[in-house]
A and B are shown apart, each in its own frame.
Chain A
Amino acid sequence: MTTSVRLSLSSLRAHRRRFAGTFLAVFLGVSFLAGTLVMGDTLRAGFDTMFGDATAGTDAVVRGADTITTPGEGQGARRPVDTGLAATLARVPGVAAAVPDIQGAGQLVGSDGRPVGGQGPPTLAGNWITDPRLNPYRLAEGRAPERPGEVVVNRGAAEKGGLRLGDSTVLRTPDPVRVTVVGLATFGGEDGMGQVTFTGMTRADAEKYLTARPGEAASILVRAAPGIGQQELVDRLAPALPRGVEAITGQESAQENTDMVSSRFLTLFTTFLLVFSGVALLVATFSIHNTFAIVVAQRTRENALLRALGASRRQVTAATLVEASAVAVTASAAGLAGGVGIAAGLQALFPAIGFPFPGGDLVVTALSLTLPLAVGVLVCLGSALLPAVRAGRTAPLAALRDTAVDSSAASRTRAVTGLALAGLAVATTLTGVLVSPSVWLAGTGAALAWSRSSSSARSPPAPPSASSARPWTGCAASPAPSPGATPCAAPGGPPPPRAPS
């Protein structure tokens, strides 16, 4: 063991408490980062499963080949296909069933006269697909719509609107349509696809009310006859398709859905956690810099003594850096555990706040562990570098002088900045925790709806503005301990005298 290492380890042992704030800041930053990554992977896997399950019976999807890019939309909408094509495709050898999937916007009015879902998640309507294997929704209660005006509603929406089987209400498409609830449906085993409301009408009603012209469908869902693979089915469909229409396998379609949800919802979600993690790491940077600046200042005499006794600048710098890495590694390692804990906690929290979290175990990849660890250690070492170099520059004579040791204005500025940042971080984090569920929900809804109705492009994604507009100030006065507070409270007077006896 080199002298530098031993010096820093014994110093760490002796000053454990001084590093508590630094430890906490690094721990939080790494936790958020690791939690975000684990959560992202887990959600992605969960959505994969969810879409995979819901559309398991769909072997091919026939849709407009080109996307029409409309301003304001990230990805383009597709041109609708002719509902009549379904009948043509049903006659292709190897096709067991082909049904049009008509989609549009439809907001239910609840029993209290207020729209279900409010301004938040998208409200969708479509034709109730009678082939149960092609319909992503499952009938849970009641029956499928048969006569004009009869609808199936997803159970979550019905509960929210206080609608029961047999109730009559209005569906705004946006023109008001009188409807009667005859059935309740589930999606992927849950009461709905996130907070999205879905109303399933008869095909005739859907054509009449939901699309610009009758005979337009978002896509045609095709089921293969036994023994026919998805790719084989697509190959067989191809010759029967008119120009401008394409067929993709059900798997590809599910993958696209997952990707679109990932690109919208997950991005939103991870951005939130990453912002917290960034703030925490920023606070960590200041906290570490501040702590080490103070440690180095308080230890001026000790470092000067080492220099007087023949320690090179590099040895003194190294001793400080070793100290920083020891803090970094332990805090980051604890942060990894914390991150997995955060992900597990969110997974448990989601169902409790009404968001049906796609099931499945936590997905912990090597990247979600190594990246936060590396970031934690680098941030720690990076912010300790300057104080460490300053430690190395200590003049040996400082050991012999009894002058008070640095508590310059600069370090006080640092302390104030650190304190302010710590406060901001706590406020941000708490606000985030408080508002984020609704933001996530709104965001999820938007993304999910968007991915499903991208062809009709009728329901613009709801902005998560309502929730993010909540003021930040509510949390600022929270008594929660701030990560940077400990080291910030430390500077000021000269170090305690060390004179023997």
Chain B
Amino acid sequence: MTTTATTTRTAARVADAVKVYGAGDTAVRALDGVTLGFPAGRFTAIMGPSGSGKSTLLHCAAGLDTLTSGSAHIGDTELGGLDDRRLTLLRRDRIGFVFQAFNLVPTLTVAENIRLPLDLADRRGDPEWIDALVDVVGLRDRLHHRPSELSGGQQQRVAVARAFAGRPDVVFADEPTGNLDSRAGGEVLGLLGRAARDIARTVVMVTHDPVAAAHADEVVFLADGRLVDRMASPTADRVLDRMKAFEVPS
């Protein structure tokens, strides 16, 4: 089952990634030498027990945090060599995010939130693309509402639309459906999957939910900061079995 992404171009990758939080006695090795590539145009799910380093991996791959050692690339750009300003620009122009919660600026409307990365860049973007996105996420009648006037699922859909608005190279999503019920979660997952397949975007998603992971093209498993397994064309049952497998020994 441990196949590697063959010759396809990788949109993002980490090599020998080590992340240590704290120092001395309290040091935590959240990533312990992970080497992993995310193929362009594919939807990858990251799974693993709580505390296995999934979020850490996502943050470091996305330029939100820096590795203790090893390297992280977006396309051909090495993130370790960028200063804060360039890293900010890279996040703005080449990366999309969907967080588990608190995705939207509460004082801005839905439309403004979707356009936020473009506005920060002073870019007009592609109005037709954004228009289409609004329809894909089904928020046309909510454009002038504030986030507090939306349901949790609607808020996450806004976040998905925002993540794709600037046509980024990679969209990272950290438990985007963690706070949603299965129906709302299904909508968001469907969106992410369609974005990857239909419009050839690279999507990387952390999830605890085997059903969510089944939407992905491939699932990678982390445990104790290491990459322990990969599974192509996952189904919910097979993912569930695999999860149970590494909960038992530890």
Contact = CB atoms under 8 A, between A and B. Distances in A.
Contacts of A396: 64, 91
B102 A310 contact: no
Contacts, number: 92
A206 to B, nearest CB: 78
Contacts of B88: 307, 310-313
A310 B120 contact: yes
Nearest to B108: A10
Interface in B103-134: 103-108, 112, 116-117, 119-122
B106 A400 contact: no
A309 B99 CA distance: 11
B179 interface: yes
B208 interface: no
Which residue, of B89, B120, B151, has the highest number of chain A Cβ atoms within 10 A? B120
B107 A305 contact: no
A239 interface: no
Contacts of A305: 99, 102-105
Contacts of B106: 14, 302, 498
A397 B116 contact: no
A13 B88 CA distance: 28
A309 B120 contact: yes
Contact count band on B = 35 or more
Nearest to B94: A310
B152 to A, nearest CB: 3
Interface residues of A, number: 29
Contacts of A310: 88-89, 91-93, 117, 120-121
B108 A498 contact: no
A94 to B, nearest CB: 79
Contacts of B155: 500-501
Contacts of B150: 500
B179 A499 contact: yes
Interface string A14-41: 1000000000000000000000000000
B61 to A, nearest CB: 13
B38 interface: no
A390 to B, nearest CB: 15
Contact of A312 (B85, B105, B147): B85
* Centre residue among A302, A309, A310, A400 by max chain B CB count within 10 A: A310
B120 A311 contact: yes
A7 B120 CA distance: 10
B102 A13 contact: no
Given A10-B108, A313-B84, A499 B120 contact: no
B59 interface: yes
A312 B162 CA distance: 18
A6 interface: yes
B221 interface: no
A307 B117 CA distance: 10
Nearest to A400: B99
A88 interface: no
A315 B64 CA distance: 18
A33 B65 CA distance: 49
B69 interface: no
B68 interface: no
Contacts of B92: 309-311
B107 A11 contact: yes
A306 interface: yes
A7 B107 contact: yes
Given A396-B64, A499-B179, A3 B116 contact: yes
Given A309-B97, A315-B120, A399-B99, A501 B108 contact: no
Contacts of A10: 107-108, 112
B85 A397 contact: no
Contacts of B32: none
Contacts of B151: 500-501
Interface in A281-340: 301-302, 305-313, 315
Nearest to A302: B105
Given A307-B88, A310-B91, A310-B117, A400 B64 contact: yes
Contacts of B121: 310
Nearest to A315: B120
A14 B179 CA distance: 26
A400 B59 contact: yes
A301 B85 contact: no
Q: For B64, B84, B104, B107, which residue has the most chain A Cβ atoms within 10 angstroms?
A: B107
Contacts of A312: 85, 88-89, 120
Contacts of A302: 105-106
A301 B152 CA distance: 18
A2 B104 CA distance: 19
Contacts of B65: 397
B235 interface: no
Contacts of B122: 2-3
Contacts of A315: 120
B145 to A, nearest CB: 13
Contacts of A307: 88
A397 B97 contact: no
A397 B59 contact: yes
B152 A308 contact: no
Given A302-B105, A500-B179, A3 B99 contact: no
A501 B105 contact: no
Contacts of A399: 99, 102
Interface in A453-501: 498-501
B37 to A, nearest CB: 23
Contacts of B218: none
B117 A7 contact: no
Nearest to A307: B88
B91 A6 contact: no
11 contacts: A3-B119, A3-B120, A7-B107, A7-B108, A11-B107, A306-B120, A309-B116, A309-B162, A397-B59, A498-B106, A500-B147
List 3 A-B pairs, minimum CB-CB distance, nearest first.
A310-B92, A501-B152, A10-B107
Given A11-B107, A305-B104, A310-B120, 18 more contacts: A2-B122, A6-B119, A10-B107, A10-B108, A14-B106, A14-B107, A308-B91, A309-B92, A309-B117, A310-B89, A310-B92, A312-B85, A396-B64, A399-B99, A400-B174, A498-B102, A500-B155, A501-B155
